[in-house]
Chain A
Amino acid sequence: MTSTHRPSDGVVTSGVGLFADALDAQAVAVNRVDWRPPMDGTEDDLAAVATDPLRLDANRRAVEAMTSTQAMVVDVAPASELLGLERGQFLHAGPPLKWENASGPMRGALQGAAALEGLVDDPEDAIALFESGDSVSLEPCHHRSAVGPMAGVVSPSMWMWVLEDQTDGRRTYCTLNEGLGKVLRYGAYSPEVLQRLRWMSDVLGPLLGQAVRATGPIDATGILTQMLQMGDEAHNRNRAGTLMLLRDIAPALAQSGADAKDIAEVFSFVGGNDHFFLNIAMPACKLALDAARGIDGSTMVVAMARNGTEFGIQTAGTGDQWFTGPAQVAEGLYLGDYGPDDANPDIGDSAITETAGIGGFAMATAPAIVRFVGGSVPDALATSRRMREITIGENPRWSIPVLDFMGTPTGIDVSRVCRTGILPQINTGMAGRVAGVGQVGAGLVTPPANIFPAALSALAERTRSRR
């Protein structure tokens, strides 16, 4: 028979084992699919999307747009200049959120930011301000080309990394990382937190900006390529990336002519904060994923984000629509006396790293992270392989040495999540449930399952309307 592919090369079987057995008996190589029923009630939507003539090419283009994006760090400047953020305007992590639905750490971070901006003297007074809603507004970071870890609160005076796709001038933004423990992004707002933020605006931001401009564009995507080979998965482990960044800007910092004491403080702050590069990894991922937005027929997830109350996703084929469900509490290990009752539900835009195929998806390259849930190295390897079951492709630039340089699983496919029931695995920090507490632990979390059938249904609706 005329075909390039022939059953004598092997047959993939799904369903009744008997037919696979019959092929075995004829000495044909059989590859058996471990098929299981899809998520409840998704069959028709899955079939509509599967037979959409646009889908295959749309997903191919989405992955290509994403993996070919080169994110360059080009500047550091205040949010007021970069985003035109005005007094009283606050950005936050995750899908849209109202103050009355905001969780403890989100409220704590907003209160701290209000005090930082001088809207109130005491962060406690900010509660009344946000309750009244007068002269303050909340908006997701994602709606302003930005991402923020944990609470992700951005106020006008905060300095931000600027990442740019130099082929088309698109930009994304993220604040500077404050370190671990009692920090604003985990909902802490004590005087030391605000003092650190002021230093970041007065010293750290301006010096970094000067150093970046003097160094010239820094290849964030390239650093990600290297750090993945050095034990970082770029979400909960950013050690190598942080040091590589420091290496790149150190000469310009030394030559900046700034006060030596300030330069030394910048060095020790950055060098002492293993998560410093996270705030570059995140906007680099967003820049890549934004390149895949607005592709009709694509079932690829372009954002996963949590606001501490809800978990939301957006897909390439459904515009700016959010599909949301209740955020889950991570499973992991706790600092000190803290326990599961102290933890807030999942929060932060940092799941943009998993959306781009690193973080939990690159677990195999950072086996230490798997111990957050008492796992093992084989678990880490299995996780990265399992994530490949729900992604469209692999990233040719970001590879995992221990998996024989398999590319990171890239482009979460809403269909495949619904078909397999395998949920994206996210590595995350845990914020305290109560405003002001800060970090209580770290662990692993998944999105609420129901948001994937919801996104699928919207994709299927669009498919049907094109017929």
Chain B
Amino acid sequence: MTTTGFEHVELRRGAYADSVALLQVSKDVAAVEGVTAAQVAMATDLNRDVIAQMGFTLPESTPNDMIVAVRLNDESSLPAALEAVDAALTRASRRGDDGASSEIEPPRTTLSAFDRTDAGLALVSVPGASAAVEAADALDAGRDVMIFSDNVPIEHEIALKQLATERGLLVMGPDCGTAVIDGIGLGFANAVRPGPVGIVAASGTGCQQLLCLLDHAGVGISAALGVGGRDLSEAVSALSTREAMRRLDEDASTELIVVVSKPPAAKVAEELREYAATLTTPVQFALLGSGQPDLTSAAEAVLETLGRPVPEWPHHGETAQVDGGRLRGLFVGGTLCDEAMLIAAEAVGDVYSNIPLEPRLELGADRRADGTVMIDFGDDGMTAGRAHPMIDPTLRLEDLARTARDGDASVVLLDVVLGHGAEDDPAGSLAPAISSAVETAKAAGRELAVVVACVGTQDDPQQTGRQAEALAAAGAEVFLSNAQATRRALSLIGAAR
């Protein structure tokens, strides 16, 4: 330990600061230029020893004295050093300016959020691998949960739903795009009126189609509970669907339960029908599949059951006439894509897709085939690491432009899904893209027909009427019914039933 240079030791009688504060003071003073060592401490025996070990010579003192001991390169630094001691002592005795207030950090987990509020539901849209963990927090808090996330491993889903079943809670999802509870739209949901129909949906856009058709017919809903696209698979065996049906059965305002799903496992569908028979509330199934009614027919059947008239479904604009050629469907809604494929398959046979009805019809990486093609841009395989196409339309717009350029198809079928959560103004980007596609085809001496299913209500933030008119003005023919739009597209290529 060096003892060269200039030493200064003083006692400050009656001065006091706690030992922690003095450690900081010593540190601050030691950092002053020209200071090689510094110790400011109460003169306890322990501190005296420490300071003596540093090579200082100490005068007599009592434990109530404060010792200031500094070693300097030379005497000229002393005033600066002592000034630093005073400044540091002042700082140490002063309360921080914002001592009493401290900003509360936001919750880092769903459970932490429930510890802080009485919120009634959790909505999870974190990456799929982490979704079950956040959802389990909601179940721990005794709350239902909606999981929008896709790419959730199926074993996570099964374990989570088993846990929820034990606790009488509802897991909506994973991959649940849509729910409406207490009139509140969760995820992608349309603004609809209250009414007698309770919907259980294993399909987000299927649910939205039903909501919008019923709304147009003047019929509202009590609730729309999503269950996730895999709920009616054999592995998951409809755990959430049963819970959702049970909830709606107990709900006095629900007069009719409608179960909507993409093609379910036959065994699960059979068991659900048996379960439905045990409920007090009548249940109507709208299970998409080969030979089964489409969503529009299902909506019409609901209206008939309720004794309500079936209206004309809206239709805007008129598209260019084409003579044959191929049909290419570009969808953001998985169920709308499924429905279109089922309808098209009856007319044209094989439909190629990234979510094909049969494995042999699976599209390659270039997403092209010599025949009818239907692509679901919202499928897990196309959303890993990027936003859903209802939020980010880039990929679909690129495909539309390429189709027009290459002349791959003469008819393009599109869906536009409105409501809470969806793009503010989908027509704002899609209408110019349609005009441009039509122009591109014309410039190459071809005709390109564009048919759109625009699923929305007048109360949606985007207003379905305004969107449909903008698309029609761009040269598209626009329907509310996806089934009608599909049939129109098929008739354009001369393949109508």
Contacts and interface: CB of A to CB of B under 8 A. Distances in A.
Summarize B's interface: helix, strand, loop or mixed: mixed
Given A47-B132, A372-B20, A389 B186 contact: no
A167 B222 CA distance: 54
B50 A335 contact: yes
A183 B26 CA distance: 23
B21 interface: yes
B108 A378 contact: no
A7 interface: yes
Contacts of B497: none
Interface string B5-18: 00000000000001
A31 B21 CA distance: 39
Which 7 A/B pairs are nearest by Cβ-Cβ distance? Answer: A15-B125, A10-B119, A51-B159, A378-B102, A5-B120, A50-B136, A9-B120
A293 interface: no
Contacts of B382: none
Contacts of A7: 120-121, 181-182, 184, 186
A14 B124 contact: yes
A10 B120 contact: yes
Interface in B64-122: 95-96, 98-110, 112-122
A431 B36 CA distance: 23
Contacts of A385: 104-105
Interface residues of A, number: 69
A422 B187 CA distance: 30
B262 interface: no
Contact of B225 (A1, A10, A378): A1
Interface in B407-448: 420-421
Interface string A36-71: 111000011011101101001000000000000000
Contacts of A368: 18, 20-21
Interface stretch (A19-27, A90-98, A136-144, A340-348): A19-27
B107 A33 contact: yes
A189 to B, nearest CB: 17
A336 B105 contact: no
Contacts of B149: 15
Contacts of B314: none
B108 A9 contact: no
Interface of B: 1, 18, 20-21, 23-24, 26-27, 37, 39, 46, 49-51, 53-54, 95-96, 98-110, 112-127, 129-130, 132-134, 136-138, 140, 142-144, 148-149, 153, 156, 159-160, 162-163, 166, 170, 181-182, 184-187, 198, 222-223, 225, 247-248, 250-251, 387, 391, 420-421, 461
A382 B26 CA distance: 26
Interface in A383-436: 385-386, 388-389, 415-416, 419-420, 422
B115 to A, nearest CB: 8
A19 B421 CA distance: 6
A33 B108 contact: yes
Given A22-B420, A50-B132, A50-B136, A389 B109 contact: yes
Given A11-B123, A378-B102, A31 B144 contact: no
Nearest to A379: B102
A1 B103 CA distance: 37
B252 to A, nearest CB: 9
Contacts of B166: 53
Contacts of A180: 46
Given A26-B184, A37-B127, A369-B20, 13 more contacts: A5-B120, A7-B184, A11-B123, A12-B114, A14-B123, A16-B148, A26-B185, A31-B113, A33-B106, A43-B130, A46-B133, A378-B101, A381-B102
Contact of A23 (B1, B113, B184, B247): B184
A6 B110 contact: no
| Interface hub of B24, B109, B461 (most chain A Cβ within 10 A) | B109
A1 B124 contact: no
Given A6-B121, A337-B54, A23 B134 contact: no
Nearest to A29: B119
Nearest to B184: A7
A450 interface: no
Contacts of A422: 108
| Interface hub of B112, B185, B251, B461 (most chain A Cβ within 10 A) | B112
Contacts of B143: 5, 12
A2 B96 contact: no
A12 B20 contact: no
Contact of B153 (A9, A47, A442): A47
12 contacts: A7-B181, A11-B120, A23-B123, A25-B461, A28-B184, A31-B119, A51-B156, A51-B163, A53-B162, A335-B50, A419-B133, A422-B108
A2 B248 CA distance: 7
Contacts of A388: 112, 115
Contacts of B223: 1
A448 interface: no
A190 B293 CA distance: 92
A5 B107 contact: no
A35 interface: yes
